[in-house]
Amino acid sequence: MYVFTLCMCLLLLVSLLGSALSVPLDIDDDVTRNVNYENYLLPGESYPTFYDVRLLLNPDVTDSFSGNVTIRIVPRRTTNQIVLQAMEMQIHTIRLTRSDSVQQNLFLSFVHERDDTHFLTINSNTPLVMGLTYIVDISYTSKFAENMFGVYISTYEEPGVGTQRLITSQLQPTFARRAFPCYDEPAYKAVFRTTIYAPPAYPVVRSNMPERTDLLKPEIPRYRKFEFQDTLMMSSYLLAYLVSKFEYVTNEASPLYNVPFRVYSRPGTQNTATFALDFGQRNMIALENYTQFTYAFPKMDKAAVPDFAAGAMENWGLVIYREVALLVRDGITTTNTKQNIGRIICHENVHMWFGNEVSPTTWTYTWLNEGFANFFENFATDLVLPEWRMMDQFVLLLQNVFQNDAVLGVNPMTHPVFTPSQIIGTFNAVAYQKSGSVIRMMQHFLTPEVFRRGLVIYLRNNSRRAVTPPDLYTALQQALNESSHSIPWPLATVLDRWTNQGGFPVLTVRRSAPGAQSIYVSQERFLTNRQLSSNYRWHVPINWVLSTNADFSNTSPQGWVPPSFPAVSFDIPGLSNADWYIVNKQQTGYYRVNYDVENWQALARVLNSSHQTIHVLNRAQIVDDSFNLARNGRLNYVHAFEISRYLVQEADYIPWASANTALSYLDIVLSGSDVYDLFKTYMLELSTPLYERLGFSSQLPEEHVTAYHRNIVLDIHCRLGNQHCVNRSQELLEQFRNDPSQRLNPDVQTTVFCSGLRGGDVNNFNFLWNQYLASTDSSEQSILLNALGCTSNAERRDFYLNQVISETSAVRDQDRHSVIVSVINSSPENMEEALDFVIEHFAAIQPRVQGLTGTTNILNAFARRLTTRQHSTKIETFISRHQSIFTAGELAAIGAIQENIAASIAWSDQNYATVSSWLNDNFRSNANALTSSLLILISLFIAVYNM
């Protein structure tokens, strides 16, 4: 009966829309293609100008939906074929006519490929003439996507009501073809008209445009009709659909922004949407002012859905978010989550210009979308909320992506991709964080004024077009030519190497002589594994600061290092009088810097005596560079350790965040070694003043980033054995267990929960797991998922890992990778168990985590923690078992794991003795003294808490 009902609806829709065929269909289902990668691209024999899409969407019919699309197409050359794309659908009828002769059906046959080209080839019975307009009308039934890519059903629990369903979509990058047959590549822009038929029980139906008043389409019994206005010219991946019982908050009563702005979410959550409504409007105003380009659509909807593969998607006029990326609940949402929400809202707003107005011709140039969105998500958030220090935090993002970009096999920013798997794989750290970092460097070497002017030209010249990088370079070059600023080469020459080569350089800087007025600078590619080599070189902008004039404000280049092998000399007046110098002011350049030993020693002296002389971002740079250069064998660890001594005086979060990341590697490789206790002593000594100052409680008002700083310090102390930290965490967890209504400070929950779980207490795990099951707040669920992996109880850990693959798991697909990542990051012992679990169950894990980045997030977590020959052997086993199912993104992540393991094995051979010697020389005698000081500190804390 169910199938019968669906077919009757489809036939009714088809007959009402006049799509009946007068000739039989000729369907060749057995044809498959054996093609080269280039043949995944549409052949381009024709292009669309207009789509009329009609969808019958019923959330209570959960396997498929029916649809009809009418496409107005124009042949680029005389042809007998039209080639477009369709996926996971059954084609029922096709009609092909000339626009000026709609009675004559030119359709002959069609072939729908069963491979991953997804080509739908329509053959005509007469040649289609170049330049004339034709109408293709297709009726079909399509499957709802089970992996959140395409049109899919999501569910949520509504208190007092039960399970509720909704329909939404994720069509980027290659899944518009799952919604309707189309030219599903970003270069094929067209106007889209959408009509959705939905049951009356689902009254909130939205698409990209407002509903139209001049209704055109027929009614369908038992369904409500929603006809939407025609879009502007746009790519197919930017379409979106929402069929729901959602409610919304709106700006219509008191708009900050002059466009209707709504935030849709589950009933009862509207009070959590106020931040998104307020910040979203103010951010759009800031972006319009910066780009000098008005947002083009007549509305802006944002919708928070429970299940969503990505964090959010920039569909023009209807942006879809995962709930945790949009809704803020006071007392529950952490500072970090709230910042991420602001950042993601800004990211999607930026796409209204970079991606929607101007799109890449193919996903080979994904960075033209995501790199700009990554840069501006920080820059334009900073325009609205400067107290968040987003552009200071950008340096941490840059340092983090260095780790991904320091392997030989990493892809460049411009990365040719053709298959759907390759295309999804290109949405990675290179397309986002590296590209954003290179764009930030470009802003500084062009100067902010030229950069902004160039982007204004870029958007105006290319509105509603699809572009390649030279279109961007042309606009920026025009702005540069019209300014008083200059660089030594055409901009395209400079950027071609940054975008077409993987990796980044390390500059080696030396004084010509002790009393000289010049430096020599050479470059080579920085690779974590120095046993590997690459001849890649770049045009590198540099600037410098001398101790005699410590002004870090002007970040424009004072010179350039060309892509040649010999060292380049730079004259620096006054250098002979300087005690120290620093290259790369505010770390605006995307590269590392290595100095002569004398300069490293001088930098250690000034940091330990008067660290505020040096800009906070360069303090972070010096710490990060020194430890990574030492890890890489380019610098003796003694110099990195001597620099790090100053951290005991450092009160700012940014350098401490750099140090925490850099020192985490030592925490991993020294774990289990003879000097690990000394290393823990060293870390505790550096951070004890901060532990005493920050504690577990926030002292309002405090700086936005202090919450992050507190977490670093508490994690160090609770994890590395400060018994006061452990005891206090246990007390706080016990209080929460006794009275869950008295919630902890959300910013310290992960640390408190982890500390309570590390002891292996089954009751703590079960309590927190039940809290997860009972929670309907996505932010709270995220905290609990990240903490539960800390359990040291073997049975509970196995239970938790199996939530990833269990058919009855309570964890949503989009969150399941977080289970494994939390176990990996919690302790060396848990990481080993997680590795064995992934090796054993990868085939089951792969389809059960969200498909965009789920498995690569897991593999990237391993890449930062696997260090031994035993790990190398396990990875070889992993590859041999599962190599037939790896995606392009997974293969790249596995390559990074192998390179990093090889580098870590070499590290032990080359550096352990030096690190061991330094720790023994400096902390063997200090260990007992530090223990005494911590005991005194504990007593003071106990006294305070008992007052």
Per DSSP, what are the bridge partners of residue 205?
A: 243
DSSP 331: T
Contact 755, 718 (CB under 8 A): yes
What kind and span of H or E run contains 659? helix 653-670
Q: Specify the DSSP element, H or E, that contains 16.
A: helix 2-16
Tokens of 57: 């969407």
Residue 58 CB neighbour total at 10 angstroms: 23
For residue 92, what is the DSSP state? Answer: E
Q: What distance lies between CA 532 and its chain's CA centroid? A: 28
Packed helices 762-774 and 749-758: angle between N→C axes, nearest 10 degrees: 140
Does residue 473 contact residue 366 with C-beta atoms inside 8 Å?
A: no
Of the residues 348, 377, 650, 780, only one is catalytic, namely 348
Q: Going by DSSP bridges, is the β-strand pair 261-265/300-305 parallel, antiparallel, or unpaired?
A: parallel
The partner residues of 305 in beta bridges, in order of sequence, read: 322
CB atoms within 10 A of CB 513: 9
Cα 401 from Cα 395, distance rounded (Å):
10
Question: How is 503-539 classified by DSSP, letter by letter?
Answer: S-EEEEEEESSTT-SEEEEEEEE--SSTTS-------
780 part of the active site: no
| Bridge partners, 303 (sequence order) | 264, 320
- φ and ψ of 100, to 5 deg: -100, 10
370 marked as binding residue: yes
Sheet bearing 46-56, strands edge to edge: 89-98, 134-143, 64-75, 46-56, 191-198, 224-227
Instruction: Of 399, 437, 430, 445, give the one whose Cα is nearest residue 593.
Output: 399
With b meaning 16 or more CB within 10 Å and e meaning fewer, what string describes 95-131? bbbbeeeeeebbbbbbbbbeeebbbbbbbbeeebeee
Say if residue 351 carries a ligand binding annotation. yes
Q: Sign of torsion, CA 463 467 473 478?
A: negative
Beta-strand (E) ranges in 331-464? Answer: 358-360
Among 189, 488, 221, 489, smallest CA distance to 356 is for: 189
Compute the distance between CA of residue 104 and CA of residue 95 in angstroms, rounded to an integer.
Answer: 9
Note the Cα 332 to chain centre separation in Å: 23
- The answer to whether residues 650 and 616 touch, using CB atoms and an 8 Å cutoff, is no
- Exposed, middle or buried, 385 (CB in 10 Å: 0-12/13-18/19+)? middle
Please check if 717 is assigned to a binding site.
no
**Residue with structure tokens 């005194």?**
936
| Neighbouring residues of 677: CB distance < 8 A, sequence distance ≥ 6 | 927
Strands (E), 233-316: 242-244, 247-250, 261-265, 300-305, 312-313
Helix-helix angle 448-462:274-291, to 10 degrees: 90
Q: Read off φ and ψ for residue 588, nearest 5 degrees.
A: -80, -25
Q: Phi, psi (5° rounding) for residue 172?
A: -85, 140
d(CA 466, CA 358): 6
Lookup: tokens for 447: 């100067």
Q: Are 326 and 305 in contact (CB under 8 A)?
A: no
- List binding-site positions for Zn(2+): 347, 351, 370
Name the residues annotated as catalytic: 348
- List binding-site positions: 347, 351, 370
